[in-house]
Structure 1
Amino acid sequence: MTLDVGVIGTGMIGQDHIRRLTSVLSGARVAAVTDVDLDRARAVADGVPGSVVHDTGQALIDDPGVDAVVVTSWGPTHEEYVLAAISAGKQVFCEKPLATTREACDRIVDAEVATGKRLVQVGFMRRFDPQYRAMKAVVTSGEIGAPLLMHAAHRNPSVPDFFTSDMTINDSTVHDIDVARWMFDDEIAAVTVLKGRISRKAKAGFNDPLLVLLEMRSGVIVDVEAMVNAGFGYDIRGEVVCEDGTVELSESAGAVVKLAGRYSGRVPETWKERFVGAFDLELQAWVDAVSAGGSTGPSAWDGYAATVACETGLAALRSGLREEVVLRERPDLYAKEGVA
């Protein structure tokens, strides 16, 4: 069986997922596309045999030739399309964020719970990255003792002109927020954001770098260095410190070469280079689960919890204080899956 997928949003990430569904993954084809820029949608569809273009996201979701939906449009539109897919009873893969506000995420969670089954997967691809999965396996096994701390860094070489200090939390640190919840099967209890010396590369009024402190309910503390003008490359770090040892991500994107008393390795230039494999594994898992009649991966609850933590982080950024994360009661629909 081939899964006929409709893609809403044909920007950079949308085109990358279309390429992935068309040329890399198995079991799916892109049957329809749409975008607020219809000329771009038509240009993309021209390169995908058999794909049709719809004028709106709602029309794409209503198309009987579309089995499942991928949402890669602008963040504030996610709520509308995810709710429409749920209403149509169609599985939906939504790139992060699930929605841009706590209230919007609430509405999605309530709509999904009302159906009695999971229909939503959120695009937190780091959960599918082999390095992160290996790290989690060690932590979960208990072989190095109970976790105490996690050190993380999210360094971008640069960001577009439209990027803001808020986006450092909402677009960059959000991945570390989801990783922390998943890594420790735990919720975040509080967030503190520290602003120190500002990089000379930062725009006027832009706080870069930031140090984001996440307190887990278990007492584990996670510190995240968020820097969006590192210059030298796309550098992702992670280390979990436990009672009897530590486990960390490899710093290199490829082989580490040792020669003549020195060693060297490659630093990825972009997020695509670092996480291309994770994106492939993530979307293939979604295709396989949907084709089998189910769902997998980060849920609507995970999307809700991440958005609430980001809102709390923004409050901490502005107040300079420790801000508590207040979550609703988790519905029974998500109880069996833990945080993962």
Structure 2
Amino acid sequence: MQNIELERKSLNRAFSVAPMLDWTDSICRGFHRILTKQSLLYTEMVTTGALVHGDQERHLAFRPCEHPIALQLGGSDPEQLAFCARLAQDYGYDEVNLNIGCPSDRVQSGRFGACLMADPELVAQCTATMISAVSIPVTVKCRIGIDEQDDYEDLQRFVSLVAESGVRTFIVHARKAWLKGLSPKQNRDVPPLNYDRVYLLKAEFPHLEIIINGGIENLQQSRLHLQRIDGVMMGRAAYQSPMQLRTVDQEIFGRNTPTLNENEIIAQLCDYTETLMQQGVHLKYISRHIVGLFQNRPGARQWRRYLSENAHKPGADVEVIRRAAAFLPELDG
């Protein structure tokens, strides 16, 4: 367990990397932290049942380098959520987030995720209980609507009721979710984006922190959104093209720290990999997060191919990364 006295960084949510199931594990977050020191990083969603009845250490342990970091929870039982929020605080997380956005059938059957947008009173009860249990921020991630409940007034009522419980930060995926008829993957692409609805929410609730999520591909788009709202959460684009994260601290947070060049990134990545492998992590669990690092760059295909073909082999070590990097001509720096 992390030292509960660990000093937590003051949260600046101007830019964050979204929670993504099977993607944003601790290894991935440590890699992203090489590229950006300021961005808020999120865990994969963890259900309350997994923490109440399962291996808490496996789900909650993280490395100090991952700060600032938020734990995302899925659940709808107020007391279980409060228990899990206390665990998050004890483990040293900087924020605990309640998922009211996931539309999968499995999540619906457990009565959490996006289906809870239809029951804002229950969500408010959950968040009120969580807030009373911890001193770290409790935030909510939601959609702009679900199914036929798709008027702005529905979103307005949801946010208003949940805000009354003490929630001050809402991360809004700017698509509605179809709970029947679309898969989770389709729900990330098929419902049209409606950024204006999120902008309107911020205009109507200026005292709340509103973070926008959905379809954001690059930092140029992020800066445009930041003219209208408080923060940007980037998902798949950050994971699939992570090199853009290396300028977030300068372009979004206004830091004067130097941007890492490609040679420095490779060197730090190799050091990180060696540390993980000394702890018993197999290279294939590291390499899967870095195959997109040099996206759209000469040599990127060879980089991806060499990692994919060699990282899983018995005895594979950090030299696989170094050899893959040799396919990249003229690394800057």
TM-score (ref. length: structure 1): 0.31
Compare the two structures and name the one with the higher helix fraction. 2
Structure showing greater relative contact order (alpha-carbon pairs closer than 8 Å, 6 or more residues apart):
1
Structure number with higher strand proportion: 1
